[in-house]
Amino acid sequence: MYIVNSTFHVPDEKAEEVIGIYHKRSKLVDECKGFVSFQLLQNDKKPGELTVQLCWESKEDYLSWATSDAYKRVHDLEKKYPDQELASIIPVVNRFHVVAQ
């Protein structure tokens, strides 16, 4: 299994707005080969720290998604978000191989 975490910070007062956006996400990723799950995580002590966690069957499946037209469409939508403060956020991305369960 392969896990990709994208962590970003928003102002605490905008955290619920961003969570709402993810509740309405396009779900294009869900249709990709090798996709296992999506979670949006909120830091228990820092409400403005959010992490998107995607689980994949393999690194190759993730890379196929990350180079797809669907991926580009999803991320182009983020850039067009009306709140420019939120649209300009750049996440810190970490990638992991699951080595034990």
**pLDDT tens column, 79-100:** 667 777 776 788 999 999 999 9
The pLDDT, as a whole number, for residue 80 is 66
Model confidence pLDDT, tens digit, residues 13-38: 999 999 998 998 888 899 999 999 99
In three state form, how does the secondary structure of 68-86 look? CHHHHHHHHHHHCCCCHHH
Count of structural domains within the chain: 1
How many Å apart are CA 99 and CA 21, to the nearest integer?
32
Which range of residues forms the domain containing residue 38? 2-97
CATH of the domain at 85: 3.30.70.100
The fraction of the chain above a pLDDT of 90, given in percent, is 71
Strands of the sheet containing 92-97, edge to edge, are 35-42, 49-56, 2-9, 92-97
Placement of tokens 């996400």 in the chain: 25
pTM, whole model, 2 decimals?
0.88
